[in-house]
Amino acid sequence: MIKKALSASYLGIILLILYSPILIIIIFSFTEAKVLGNWTGFSLKLYTSIFSGGIHHSLTNALWNTLIIGLVAAFVSTALGTMAAIGIYNLLPRTQKTIKMVNTIPILNPDIITAISLFLLFVSLGFSQGYITVILAHITFCTPYVVLSVLPRLRRMNPNLYEAALDLGATPFLAVRRILIPELKPGMLSGFILAFTLSIDDFVVTLFTIGNEGLETLSTYIYADARKGGLTPELRPLSTIIFVTVLLLLLVINKKAAKLKL
Protein backbone atom coordinates (compact mmCIF):
# COMPACT_ATOMS: atom_id res chain seq x y z
CA MET A 1 0.00 0.00 0.00
CA ILE A 2 2.67 2.45 1.10
CA LYS A 3 4.82 1.21 -1.74
CA LYS A 4 2.12 2.12 -4.19
CA ALA A 5 1.65 5.52 -2.67
CA LEU A 6 5.37 6.19 -2.71
CA SER A 7 5.74 5.09 -6.30
CA ALA A 8 2.81 7.15 -7.39
CA SER A 9 4.09 10.24 -5.63
CA TYR A 10 7.57 9.73 -7.06
CA LEU A 11 6.15 9.74 -10.57
CA GLY A 12 3.87 12.57 -9.62
CA ILE A 13 6.68 14.79 -8.42
CA ILE A 14 8.76 14.18 -11.51
CA LEU A 15 5.83 14.92 -13.76
CA LEU A 16 5.06 18.05 -11.81
CA ILE A 17 8.57 19.37 -12.22
CA LEU A 18 8.59 18.36 -15.86
CA TYR A 19 5.40 20.25 -16.44
CA SER A 20 6.18 23.36 -14.43
CA PRO A 21 7.59 25.31 -17.39
CA ILE A 22 4.49 24.31 -19.33
CA LEU A 23 2.37 25.61 -16.49
CA ILE A 24 4.25 28.89 -16.71
CA ILE A 25 3.39 29.13 -20.38
CA ILE A 26 -0.24 28.40 -19.65
CA ILE A 27 -0.44 30.88 -16.80
CA PHE A 28 1.23 33.64 -18.74
CA SER A 29 -0.97 33.05 -21.76
CA PHE A 30 -3.59 34.90 -19.79
CA THR A 31 -1.78 38.21 -19.80
CA GLU A 32 -0.95 40.66 -22.50
CA ALA A 33 2.69 41.30 -21.64
CA LYS A 34 5.10 40.88 -24.50
CA VAL A 35 7.82 39.36 -22.39
CA LEU A 36 7.23 35.91 -20.95
CA GLY A 37 7.33 36.42 -17.24
CA ASN A 38 5.79 39.85 -17.02
CA TRP A 39 2.29 40.07 -15.74
CA THR A 40 0.23 43.04 -16.82
CA GLY A 41 -3.03 41.85 -15.41
CA PHE A 42 -5.41 39.11 -16.37
CA SER A 43 -6.54 39.34 -19.95
CA LEU A 44 -7.93 37.08 -22.62
CA LYS A 45 -6.82 39.39 -25.38
CA LEU A 46 -4.20 37.03 -26.74
CA TYR A 47 -6.74 34.27 -27.09
CA THR A 48 -9.25 36.47 -28.85
CA SER A 49 -6.47 37.78 -31.03
CA ILE A 50 -5.76 34.30 -32.26
CA PHE A 51 -9.35 33.52 -33.05
CA SER A 52 -10.20 36.83 -34.61
CA GLY A 53 -7.64 36.20 -37.29
CA GLY A 54 -4.92 38.02 -35.44
CA ILE A 55 -2.61 35.18 -36.03
CA HIS A 56 -0.05 35.74 -38.64
CA HIS A 57 -0.79 33.79 -41.77
CA SER A 58 2.75 32.59 -41.95
CA LEU A 59 2.41 31.16 -38.45
CA THR A 60 -0.53 29.04 -39.56
CA ASN A 61 1.47 28.01 -42.63
CA ALA A 62 4.40 27.14 -40.44
CA LEU A 63 2.21 25.09 -38.13
CA TRP A 64 0.67 23.23 -41.02
CA ASN A 65 4.05 22.54 -42.61
CA THR A 66 5.46 21.29 -39.34
CA LEU A 67 2.59 18.88 -38.97
CA ILE A 68 2.81 17.53 -42.49
CA ILE A 69 6.56 17.21 -42.44
CA GLY A 70 6.40 15.54 -39.05
CA LEU A 71 3.77 13.01 -40.07
CA VAL A 72 5.33 12.13 -43.39
CA ALA A 73 8.81 11.87 -41.93
CA ALA A 74 7.53 9.77 -39.04
CA PHE A 75 5.59 7.41 -41.30
CA VAL A 76 8.42 6.91 -43.72
CA SER A 77 10.99 6.53 -40.96
CA THR A 78 8.84 3.95 -39.24
CA ALA A 79 8.37 1.97 -42.42
CA LEU A 80 11.99 2.24 -43.46
CA GLY A 81 13.26 1.62 -39.96
CA THR A 82 11.09 -1.41 -39.35
CA MET A 83 12.13 -2.99 -42.62
CA ALA A 84 15.72 -2.23 -41.80
CA ALA A 85 15.41 -3.67 -38.31
CA ILE A 86 13.96 -6.89 -39.68
CA GLY A 87 16.76 -7.03 -42.20
CA ILE A 88 19.47 -6.25 -39.71
CA TYR A 89 18.22 -8.89 -37.33
CA ASN A 90 18.70 -11.52 -39.98
CA LEU A 91 22.19 -10.52 -40.99
CA LEU A 92 25.47 -12.12 -40.10
CA PRO A 93 26.96 -10.65 -36.91
CA ARG A 94 29.81 -8.84 -38.63
CA THR A 95 27.59 -7.02 -41.12
CA GLN A 96 25.13 -6.38 -38.34
CA LYS A 97 27.71 -4.56 -36.27
CA THR A 98 28.84 -2.35 -39.14
CA ILE A 99 25.36 -1.35 -40.11
CA LYS A 100 24.41 -0.73 -36.51
CA MET A 101 27.43 1.50 -36.13
CA VAL A 102 26.54 3.56 -39.16
CA ASN A 103 22.98 3.69 -37.91
CA THR A 104 24.17 5.36 -34.72
CA ILE A 105 26.00 8.15 -36.52
CA PRO A 106 22.95 10.42 -36.96
CA ILE A 107 22.17 10.00 -33.27
CA LEU A 108 25.68 10.87 -32.15
CA ASN A 109 26.35 13.64 -34.62
CA PRO A 110 25.67 17.16 -33.39
CA ASP A 111 22.59 18.27 -35.26
CA ILE A 112 24.32 21.29 -36.69
CA ILE A 113 26.80 18.98 -38.38
CA THR A 114 24.01 16.84 -39.78
CA ALA A 115 22.48 20.08 -40.97
CA ILE A 116 25.45 21.46 -42.83
CA SER A 117 26.53 18.10 -44.20
CA LEU A 118 23.12 17.58 -45.74
CA PHE A 119 23.17 21.20 -46.91
CA LEU A 120 26.48 20.58 -48.65
CA LEU A 121 25.17 17.35 -50.13
CA PHE A 122 22.10 18.99 -51.58
CA VAL A 123 24.06 21.95 -52.85
CA SER A 124 26.69 19.87 -54.56
CA LEU A 125 24.01 17.75 -56.21
CA GLY A 126 22.14 20.82 -57.34
CA PHE A 127 19.04 19.61 -55.53
CA SER A 128 16.60 22.44 -55.15
CA GLN A 129 15.73 22.68 -51.49
CA GLY A 130 12.29 22.73 -50.05
CA TYR A 131 9.72 20.32 -48.65
CA ILE A 132 11.40 17.26 -50.04
CA THR A 133 14.85 18.03 -48.72
CA VAL A 134 13.48 18.85 -45.29
CA ILE A 135 11.56 15.59 -45.14
CA LEU A 136 14.56 13.61 -46.34
CA ALA A 137 16.70 15.29 -43.71
CA HIS A 138 14.18 14.50 -41.00
CA ILE A 139 13.96 10.90 -42.11
CA THR A 140 17.74 10.76 -41.86
CA PHE A 141 17.84 11.59 -38.20
CA CYS A 142 14.59 9.87 -37.23
CA THR A 143 15.03 6.41 -38.72
CA PRO A 144 17.92 5.38 -36.45
CA TYR A 145 15.63 5.88 -33.46
CA VAL A 146 12.98 3.68 -35.06
CA VAL A 147 15.55 0.98 -35.73
CA LEU A 148 16.61 1.15 -32.10
CA SER A 149 13.00 0.82 -30.98
CA VAL A 150 12.13 -2.14 -33.19
CA LEU A 151 15.26 -4.28 -32.91
CA PRO A 152 14.76 -5.19 -29.27
CA ARG A 153 11.26 -6.42 -30.00
CA LEU A 154 12.67 -8.68 -32.69
CA ARG A 155 15.06 -10.19 -30.22
CA ARG A 156 12.26 -10.91 -27.78
CA MET A 157 10.13 -12.52 -30.39
CA ASN A 158 9.92 -16.23 -30.72
CA PRO A 159 11.92 -16.89 -33.89
CA ASN A 160 9.99 -20.00 -34.67
CA LEU A 161 6.70 -18.27 -35.28
CA TYR A 162 7.81 -16.89 -38.61
CA GLU A 163 9.22 -20.21 -39.73
CA ALA A 164 6.08 -21.95 -38.61
CA ALA A 165 3.98 -19.63 -40.70
CA LEU A 166 6.10 -20.28 -43.73
CA ASP A 167 5.86 -24.02 -43.13
CA LEU A 168 2.10 -23.73 -43.00
CA GLY A 169 2.16 -22.32 -46.50
CA ALA A 170 2.14 -18.58 -45.95
CA THR A 171 4.04 -16.41 -48.38
CA PRO A 172 6.80 -14.33 -46.79
CA PHE A 173 4.71 -11.22 -47.13
CA LEU A 174 1.70 -12.78 -45.48
CA ALA A 175 3.87 -14.11 -42.72
CA VAL A 176 5.29 -10.67 -42.14
CA ARG A 177 1.89 -9.05 -42.10
CA ARG A 178 0.23 -11.54 -39.83
CA ILE A 179 3.08 -12.60 -37.57
CA LEU A 180 5.92 -10.11 -37.51
CA ILE A 181 4.08 -6.81 -37.64
CA PRO A 182 1.71 -7.52 -34.77
CA GLU A 183 4.68 -8.56 -32.64
CA LEU A 184 6.61 -5.48 -33.61
CA LYS A 185 3.72 -3.07 -33.34
CA PRO A 186 4.63 -1.68 -29.90
CA GLY A 187 8.19 -1.02 -31.06
CA MET A 188 6.93 0.54 -34.25
CA LEU A 189 4.53 2.72 -32.37
CA SER A 190 7.14 3.99 -29.94
CA GLY A 191 9.51 4.57 -32.83
CA PHE A 192 6.83 6.52 -34.64
CA ILE A 193 6.09 8.72 -31.65
CA LEU A 194 9.79 9.35 -31.09
CA ALA A 195 10.32 10.19 -34.75
CA PHE A 196 7.37 12.57 -34.81
CA THR A 197 8.50 14.29 -31.61
CA LEU A 198 12.02 14.77 -32.93
CA SER A 199 10.79 16.06 -36.22
CA ILE A 200 8.44 18.74 -34.96
CA ASP A 201 10.98 20.11 -32.53
CA ASP A 202 13.93 20.21 -34.88
CA PHE A 203 15.47 23.53 -35.77
CA VAL A 204 18.99 23.48 -37.15
CA VAL A 205 18.60 20.66 -39.63
CA THR A 206 15.41 22.21 -40.92
CA LEU A 207 17.06 25.62 -41.14
CA PHE A 208 19.76 24.42 -43.49
CA THR A 209 17.60 22.28 -45.73
CA ILE A 210 14.68 24.60 -46.05
CA GLY A 211 15.65 26.30 -49.29
CA ASN A 212 14.66 29.72 -50.43
CA GLU A 213 11.08 29.37 -51.55
CA GLY A 214 9.60 30.75 -48.39
CA LEU A 215 9.04 27.45 -46.61
CA GLU A 216 8.80 27.74 -42.87
CA THR A 217 8.24 25.40 -40.01
CA LEU A 218 7.18 26.25 -36.49
CA SER A 219 10.79 26.10 -35.30
CA THR A 220 12.21 28.41 -37.93
CA TYR A 221 9.34 30.80 -37.40
CA ILE A 222 9.78 30.91 -33.64
CA TYR A 223 13.54 31.29 -33.70
CA ALA A 224 13.43 34.06 -36.29
CA ASP A 225 10.69 35.72 -34.31
CA ALA A 226 12.52 35.52 -31.00
CA ARG A 227 15.60 37.29 -32.36
CA LYS A 228 13.94 40.50 -33.36
CA GLY A 229 11.47 41.96 -30.94
CA GLY A 230 11.02 38.97 -28.70
CA LEU A 231 8.76 35.97 -28.86
CA THR A 232 5.34 36.77 -30.24
CA PRO A 233 3.03 36.75 -27.24
CA GLU A 234 0.37 34.86 -29.22
CA LEU A 235 2.59 31.80 -29.15
CA ARG A 236 1.76 31.32 -25.50
CA PRO A 237 -1.98 30.76 -25.97
CA LEU A 238 -1.24 28.84 -29.14
CA SER A 239 1.05 26.44 -27.32
CA THR A 240 -1.48 26.16 -24.53
CA ILE A 241 -4.27 25.29 -26.91
CA ILE A 242 -2.19 22.72 -28.78
CA PHE A 243 -0.99 21.21 -25.56
CA VAL A 244 -4.39 20.94 -23.94
CA THR A 245 -5.91 19.53 -27.12
CA VAL A 246 -3.28 16.82 -27.41
CA LEU A 247 -3.63 15.99 -23.73
CA LEU A 248 -7.38 15.65 -24.00
CA LEU A 249 -7.03 13.56 -27.14
CA LEU A 250 -4.66 11.26 -25.33
CA LEU A 251 -7.01 10.79 -22.42
CA VAL A 252 -9.91 10.11 -24.73
CA ILE A 253 -7.95 7.56 -26.75
CA ASN A 254 -6.84 5.96 -23.55
CA LYS A 255 -10.39 5.68 -22.26
CA LYS A 256 -11.55 4.24 -25.55
CA ALA A 257 -8.73 1.71 -25.59
CA ALA A 258 -9.74 0.68 -22.09
CA LYS A 259 -13.30 0.10 -23.16
CA LEU A 260 -12.23 -1.99 -26.13
CA LYS A 261 -9.71 -4.10 -24.29
CA LEU A 262 -11.92 -4.86 -21.36
Q: Does 164 bind another protein (CB under 8 A)?
A: no
Among 148, 165, 184, 195, binds another protein (CB under 8 A): 148
Q: Does 43 bind another protein (CB under 8 A)?
A: no
Residue 202 to residues 66, 127, 138, 222: CA-CA distances in angstroms?
Answer: 10, 21, 8, 12
46 vs 220 by CB, closer to another protein: 220
Q: Does 230 bind another protein (CB under 8 A)?
A: yes
Please work out, in degrees rounded to the nearest 5, the angle formed at the alpha carbon of residue 60 by the alpha carbons of 38 and 120.
100
Of the candidates 124, 103, 136, the one whose C-alpha atom is nearest the C-alpha of residue 202 is 136
Total residues interacting with another protein, rule: CB under 8 A: 130
HSE at residue 141, side-chain half, CA atoms within 13 A, is 29
Among 53, 110, 169, 182, binds another protein (CB under 8 A): 110
Region class of 126: left (phi > 0), else alpha (psi between -120 and 50), else beta: left
User: Would you tell me how many other CB atoms lie within 10 Å of the CB of residue 124?
Assistant: 8
Residue 196 to residues 19, 70, 136, 170: CA-CA distances in angstroms?
Answer: 20, 5, 14, 33
CB of 50 to another protein, least distance (A): 15
Q: Does 16 bind another protein (CB under 8 A)?
A: no
Binding pattern to another protein, positions 46-65, x when CB under 8 A?
Answer: ------------x-------
16 vs 48 by CB, closer to another protein: 16
Amino acid residing at 70 = G
Question: In this structure, are residues 24 and 38 in contact, taking their beta carbons and an 8 Å threshold?
Answer: no
Q: Does 256 bind another protein (CB under 8 A)?
A: no
Question: In this structure, are residues 77 and 139 in contact, taking their beta carbons and an 8 Å threshold?
Answer: yes
Among 100, 161, 183, 241, binds another protein (CB under 8 A): 100
Among 46, 50, 88, 184, binds another protein (CB under 8 A): 88
178-217: which residues touch another protein (CB under 8 A)? Answer: 187, 190, 193-194, 197, 200-201, 203, 207-208, 211-216
Residue 184 to residues 71, 158, 187, 257: CA-CA distances in angstroms?
Answer: 20, 12, 5, 19
Q: Does 170 bind another protein (CB under 8 A)?
A: no
Q: Does 174 bind another protein (CB under 8 A)?
A: no
CB of 47 to another protein, least distance (A): 17
Q: Does 155 bind another protein (CB under 8 A)?
A: yes
Q: Does 248 bind another protein (CB under 8 A)?
A: no
Considering just the CA atoms, what is the radius of gyration of the chain in Å? 22
Among 206, 220, 234, 237, binds another protein (CB under 8 A): 220
124-143: which residues touch another protein (CB under 8 A)? Answer: 124, 128, 130-132, 135-137, 139-140, 143
